[in-house]
Structure 1
Amino acid sequence: MLGRLVGGRYEIVARVARGGMATVYRARDRRLDRDVALKIMHPHLAEGVDGGRFVSRFRREARSSARLSHPGVVAVFDQGVDGDLSYLTMEYVAGSNLRGALHDGPLTVGRALDVAAQTLAALAAAHRVGLVHRDVKPENVLLDEDGAVKVADFGLARAVTEVTTTTTGTILGTVAYLAPEVITTGGCTPATDVYAVGVLLSEMLTGTLPYPGETPIQVAFHHVHEDLPTPSERVGWLPAQIDDLIALFTARDPEGRPPHAAAALVAVRAVRTALDDEVLVRAAEPPASSEPASPADDLDDAGSADAAGGSADAVDEIPAAFFTEVSAGHLTEHVVTDPTTELGSGSRPPRRRRRRRVVAGLLVVVLLLAGGGVGTWWWYTEGPGAWTTVPDDLAGVELRAAQETLSGHGLETTTSETYDDEVPAGDVVTSAPAPGERVRTDGTVELVVSLGVQLLTVPEDLLGATAQDATAALEDTGFTVATPRTAYDDRAPEGEVVEMSVPEGSTQRHDTVVRITVSDGPAPVRVPQVVGVDGDQAEEDLAGVGLEVEYTDPEHATGTPEGHVLTQDPEQGTAAHRTDTVTLTLSAGPPEVEVPDVEGMSTQEATDALEEAGFVVEVNRYLGGLLDTVRFQDTTGTALQGSTVTLTVW
């Protein structure tokens, strides 16, 4: 494969790892000029009756990882097919994995807690979108060149709702890190990943797995029936907080563990804060045993026995969906669907231990053969291996009737409640497992009971609030808010809510779409011309377009009658808004001024003097105005400027 161009853009440079399902190569993305990890599924897995299942799982890994966006999760860039090759393109992480780090011995307490915290942070991102990793182990915890954690291989991940019950009878995952519920029922929740992190943390601190040197079926038995050994049993100086933390993570009852990785992360950080620096920098001595730390690293990538290995111990398939998966070196993907055989690594275990394993294996075989008939019949008819299906006639019936139906099938019930727009309150909406799905004969079915249509109360004090605050209050309550309308309003400032499609404080269906009307402030107008108009008429004209009027002191003017508008501000045609103010100055009429004394002057001299003072001159002539001398003027003293002064001339 070296040098081959896959998908027209990925040039294979080197092989990184090989697993039971795929081989991972380092490749160069010619289009984006960057290094990527290219995961190519073994072509033979796509053949035969199970080929479709392998291809489906391979593609599911891409979909699972593509849903995650977190710096601690290995990103998936691309998925495709090139001839008979199915491939994934992923982020290339230069460095090693946690298994490689553990080969050098236990980690310091601080480093172990940091790796656990970063792993939980990545898993929390998966749990938030409804995914359970299901295969947390050192091989899938990558460490980049700076020591940062990247969680890889979401090939086993499924949505939580898909893994709460298994129907296939096969569980994927490595037995050393499997939670009890996975072994007994196949059920997986986010707490299942928390259990695996607890085992991982114990291994990082002690340098060995909780049950080293035992067969997978023995390890499974321990997980189901015994509490995990405390790390201080192997490393005496480890503080009680570490024992308590791992006991919390590995509680056999899932209800006793943190419900998801985010909650577990809080616990890890709290313990790290509580520990002294002297403890955080200390690491345990490497275990005396020469066995590798890997839970099972003596199968080749196809799951077959290594011809160079020693004798093998048969691993019996545990009924009710259990099998063991093994890892080799830095493998990142493993699939075993049939009972497997675990062989010794390059350094064989002591002869006494191997002989003890062989004897134990023979005893198991003898017991199985001796009790085969009765045991098999009991297991699959009355025991834990018996299954039934959830009845189909549960949805839409009253709770009591559904409980009686399930009781008639020998099933226990629990209830939860949810709002439903179609199913009346008190009737069953659905069940978990869903109708038609398999459930153990002594199992429990959760009935989801309708609370009817969800009703919400419209918040108070939204009128007069800002559009942003009103929208946030409605959405926080659960309503959908339509795009706001806008309207001009003389009283409400711009951006303030002036109207709603539902009354404040009223009760509405949760799916009611609420529309608010937001003020655009007063409407724009043009200032009309009112100069020269009577004051009352001017005020009426301005009020007609929504403008307010303010007056200044009247001023005398000869050209504008008293009480009429002398000036306006702003002037005619100015852009304004309703409720803006126009300032008017009214005329006080002409002023009183001193009338010049023009008696004895000539007609022309008298006329010039009076007109210069602002008066209108009228002349009466006697005897033809023979002498052209003003003999009499009818107005003296003071008079209104612009009034008429009559002169008598002869």
Structure 2
Amino acid sequence: MATTTTDPQLGRLVDGRYEIVARVARGGMATVYRARDRRLGREVAVKIMHPHLAEGVDGASFVSRFRREARASARLSHPGVVAVFDQGVDGDTSYLTMEYVPGHNLRAELREGPLRADRALDVAAQVLAALAAAHRVGLVHRDVKPENVLVDDEDRVKVADFGLARAVTEVTSTATGTILGTVAYLAPEVITSGGCTPATDVYAVGVLLHEMLTGALPYPGETPVQVAFRHVHEDLPPPSERVPWLPAEVDALLASFTARDPARRPAHAGVALAALRALRTGLPDDVLDRTADPVVPGTTTAGSALSPVDEAAADDATTSPPGPAVGAGSADDVDEIPAAFFADVVPTGHVTEHVVTAPTTAMPHDVPVRRPRRRRRAAVAWLCVAVLLAGGGVGGWWWFADGPGAWTDVPAGLVGAEAEDAQAALDAAGLAGRTTEAFDDEVAEGDVVSTEPGAGEPVRRDGAVTLVVSLGVEMLTVPTGLVGSAQRDAEAALEDAGFTVGPSGGAYDDEAPEGEVLEVSVEEGAREPHDTEVRLTVSQGPAPVQVPQVVGRSAQDAEQDLAAAGLRVDHADPEHSTEVAEGHVLAQDPEQGSDARRTDTVTLTLSAGPREVKVPDVVGMSEQEASDALADAGFEVDVNRYLGGLLDTVRFQDQTGKAPEGSTVTLTVW
């Protein structure tokens, strides 16, 4: 009866954000799932470390290695490298999220057989381009293999799983005494000492290219320990042994990539990529279009059984459900070999080989010696000469084609020299020179800024050194029309011209509206170095002021006080007033102490003096009646009494007709 195993992670919401949808791959260190990022609404790959690895004495080191993968990969930004988005811990679960790559891994293509030559070279070139980006920031992948090479639906190659990557300066040995990585692709120095350089990744790409071209690994049918031993003690067999139509140039390239001595390999992936591209350009179409005969499943081209390494890779590929590849390859498929097994191996790659395969046996004295005839001795002599000449020819070809004689060092003293002098030095060393130009703030125009490869680095005698020649300091033109434009428009114009815009200053201005550029720190239209920081002085509009008190002042005095504060004056219609003299300020708007800005307007209302009103005729009235009538009409009253006002009758009033409101009317009463 079949048993169905359900993954407990399926349907789980990791860290409240990533919903696990399906399992994609499982390896020795982690399991990779396809998940949905609920926050951003996109598909991602979530790599979850196996819980048991975080337990025990070595748990901390496993967790540290897992998190180091996220930090290392996050430093890389290249279209050929699977992007790492996030890393975290949810309870006891350590996870990281990566770009989800719909497609398959390279192992799936290799299960169908060898690749066409041009396809194999193109895949290797894309892998080297991605590794070159890592090497430029000081990272070594350490685990290049088909499971970590992803091919998306648009046939683009991406390198995944920098789980074994470490800063070059940190990687000097394997502290645990165990060799980590897939043994079929390990360079000798990793096996012997744990040491790792960018040339280590180049070695793995060489093995990978051998496998793509031939359909099989270099050492099939052997255990991992035997494979590792042969990597250390033997040069890899040339691919033309399995695929006779491959030209010698392909053998030479792979020999340089997989040289046992790291110093004889390309120093990093960038150099290897240049060599690969040069090779591909020179290969004829009848080679590029061909594909090696497929290897019969379970055998090599010679009919031997697949190696345990091949079988492990095939088994690992079948444990995951078919479907898209993700940013974790096979999730850390690791072969482990005790490093002490190779403790006695000389790490330089130079191994003493025994020429005599059988011990020398002394002949009994009583046995008669049959001497060869002279003709036979002469034939043997000529045969020896021919063998020596042939051996010398092959050795000489190897020495100058790919051995030490094929390489030299880039001369010192090129950087800082004039371009012509640097080219002369290359000519003297028998090297070709290519020139590119770049701006530089330190190196004078016409002098060499840098070289590729660098001084002292190996270069083929028939190769070329690229000289980067300084164009001097890059000068940019300051845009015109900045003064008088809006601050946002001026900053955009400066940034488009390549300048950095510094913090702006502000200044009050009665004419320029707020946000308008008043001044620029450099002259408009001038040529300035590219790193010049340009600062703008921007108008803050008219300055703030407080409205002064001008009520009761004459119109002239009020206007002078307001003008001194930067305020403008407007007049409303005059109004009559019995309290404020005619021509003086009766009211102001805004009032005294109000907040305003220069050039704001204050409206003044001037007094028109008192109104002319009719004086009531009060003669003949009593004093009280007359006073009340005059008061009601708006007049003040003054009374003169004769004989004590005996009869209480108004006899005279000093004003009649019309008089100013509020003026005094004098009455005579008696």
TM-score higher than 0.5: yes
Q: Does 2:243 correspond to 1:217?
A: no
Per-residue CA shift, 1:110-134, capped at 9, x if unaligned? xxx9xx99x999x989969967989
Per-residue CA shift, 1:540-589, capped at 9, x if unaligned? 22233333322211111111111222122222222333333222211111
Q: Distance in 1 between matches of 2:517 and 2:546?
A: 26
Q: Distance in 1 between matches of 2:591 and 2:637?
A: 36
1:436 aligned partner = 456
Q: Distance in 2 between matches of 1:473 and 1:151?
A: 40
User: Residue 373 of structure 1 is aligned with which of 392, 401, 409?
Assistant: 392
CA change 1:638–1:134 in 2 (3 A) is: farther
Contact 1:457 1:507 in 2 (8 A): yes
Q: Does 2:203 correspond to 1:172?
A: yes
User: Residue 466 of structure 2 is aligned with which of 446, 449, 454?
Assistant: 446
1:140 aligned partner = 148
| Aligned partner of residue 173 in structure 1, secondary structure | helix
CA change 1:95–1:487 in 2 (3 A) is: closer
User: Residue 67 of structure 1 is aligned with which of 75, 90, 105?
Assistant: 75
| Higher Rg of the two aligned structures | 2
CA change 1:469–1:449 in 2 (3 A) is: same
Q: Does 2:105 correspond to 1:98?
A: yes
1:574 aligned partner = 594
Greater shift, 537-546 or 402-411, is seen at: 537-546
Contact 1:176 1:220 in 2 (8 A): no
Which one-letter code corresponds to 1:173 in the other structure? A
Q: Distance in 1 between matches of 2:244 and 2:206?
A: 6
2:545 aligned partner = 525
Deviation of 1:633 after TM superposition, in Å, equals 2.7
Contact 2:408 2:458 in 1 (8 A): yes
Per-residue CA shift, 1:387-432, capped at 9, x if unaligned? 2222222222222122112211111112112222222222222222
CA change 1:541–1:562 in 2 (3 A) is: same
Deviation of 1:62 after TM superposition, in Å, equals 6.3
Q: Does 2:521 correspond to 1:496?
A: no
User: Residue 29 of structure 2 is aligned with which of 24, 46, 65?
Assistant: 24
2:416 aligned partner = 396
Q: Distance in 2 between matches of 1:225 and 1:290?
A: 27
Q: Distance in 2 between matches of 1:503 and 1:493?
A: 22
| Aligned partner of residue 476 in structure 2, secondary structure | strand
CA change 1:140–1:419 in 2 (3 A) is: same
1:472 aligned partner = 492
Q: Distance in 1 between matches of 2:445 and 2:144?
A: 42
Per-residue CA shift, 1:191-234, capped at 9, x if unaligned? xxxxxxxx9xxxxxxxxx665479762269848869xxxxxxxx
Contact 1:100 1:330 in 2 (8 A): no
Q: Distance in 2 between matches of 1:157 and 1:616?
A: 107
1:36 aligned partner = 49
Which one-letter code corresponds to 1:139 in the other structure? E
1:630 aligned partner = 650
Greater shift, 389-398 or 553-562, is seen at: 389-398
CA change 1:537–1:76 in 2 (3 A) is: closer
Deviation of 1:103 after TM superposition, in Å, equals 8.5
Where do residues 535-546 of structure 1 align in structure 2 (5 Å cutoff)? 535-546=555-566
CA change 1:254–1:472 in 2 (3 A) is: farther
Q: Does 2:654 correspond to 1:646?
A: no
CA change 1:519–1:62 in 2 (3 A) is: same
Where do residues 179-218 of structure 1 align in structure 2 (5 Å cutoff)? 211-212=214-215, 217-218=239-240
Which one-letter code corresponds to 1:291 in the other structure? P
Per-residue CA shift, 1:278-321, capped at 9, x if unaligned? xxxxxxxxx996437999994445999xxxxxxxxxxxxxxxxx
User: Residue 505 of structure 2 is aligned with which of 482, 485, 500?
Assistant: 485
CA change 1:462–1:406 in 2 (3 A) is: same
Contact 1:17 1:25 in 2 (8 A): yes
Q: Distance in 1 between matches of 2:101 and 2:311?
A: 27
Q: Distance in 2 between matches of 1:252 and 1:639?
A: 116
CA change 1:135–1:24 in 2 (3 A) is: closer
| Percent identity between the two aligned chains | 49
The number of aligned residues is: 458
2:623 aligned partner = 603
Contact 1:548 1:582 in 2 (8 A): yes
Per-residue CA shift, 1:331-371, capped at 9, x if unaligned? 756899979xxxxxxxxxxxxxxxxxxxxxxxxxxx99974
1:323 aligned partner = none
Q: Distance in 1 between matches of 2:640 and 2:300?
A: 136
| Aligned partner of residue 604 in structure 1, secondary structure | helix
User: Residue 291 of structure 1 is aligned with which of 297, 306, 311?
Assistant: 297
Q: Distance in 2 between matches of 1:38 and 1:143?
A: 30
| Aligned partner of residue 203 in structure 2, secondary structure | coil
Per-residue CA shift, 1:75-120, capped at 9, x if unaligned? 79599xxxxxxxx9866999996367558969xxxxxx9xx99x99
Q: Does 2:605 correspond to 1:585?
A: yes
Which one-letter code corresponds to 1:446 in the other structure? T
Which one-letter code corresponds to 2:475 in the other structure? L
Q: Distance in 1 between matches of 2:274 and 2:465?
A: 26
CA change 1:256–1:156 in 2 (3 A) is: farther
Per-residue CA shift, 1:36-89, capped at 9, x if unaligned? 26999xxxxxxxxxxxxxxxx99996664131479954679599xxxxxxxx98
CA change 1:646–1:169 in 2 (3 A) is: closer
CA change 1:330–1:446 in 2 (3 A) is: same
Where do residues 110-149 of structure 1 align in structure 2 (5 Å cutoff)? 138-141=146-149
Q: Distance in 1 between matches of 2:654 and 2:630?
A: 12
Q: Distance in 1 between matches of 2:198 and 2:631?
A: 117
Which one-letter code corresponds to 2:566 in the other structure? G
Deviation of 1:497 after TM superposition, in Å, equals 2.8
| Aligned partner of residue 441 in structure 2, secondary structure | coil
Deviation of 1:642 after TM superposition, in Å, equals 2.1
2:343 aligned partner = none
**TM-score, normalised to structure 2's length?**
0.54
Greater relative contact order structure (CA < 8 Å, 6+ sep):
2
Which one-letter code corresponds to 1:172 in the other structure? Y
| Aligned partner of residue 426 in structure 1, secondary structure | coil
Contact 2:144 2:201 in 1 (8 A): no
Contact 2:215 2:294 in 1 (8 A): no
| Aligned partner of residue 171 in structure 1, secondary structure | helix
Per-residue CA shift, 1:121-177, capped at 9, x if unaligned? 9x9899699679898764114699xxx998523479899xxxxxx995982334576
Q: Distance in 1 between matches of 2:588 and 2:551?
A: 6
Q: Distance in 2 between matches of 1:596 and 1:255?
A: 125
CA change 1:586–1:411 in 2 (3 A) is: same
Q: Does 2:515 correspond to 1:515?
A: no
Q: Distance in 2 between matches of 1:632 and 1:535?
A: 41
CA change 1:292–1:251 in 2 (3 A) is: farther
Contact 1:551 1:584 in 2 (8 A): yes
User: Residue 554 of structure 2 is aligned with which of 522, 534, 537?
Assistant: 534
Which one-letter code corresponds to 1:376 in the other structure? G
CA change 1:376–1:477 in 2 (3 A) is: farther
CA change 1:578–1:471 in 2 (3 A) is: same
Deviation of 1:477 after TM superposition, in Å, equals 2.3
Q: Distance in 1 between matches of 2:490 and 2:305?
A: 61
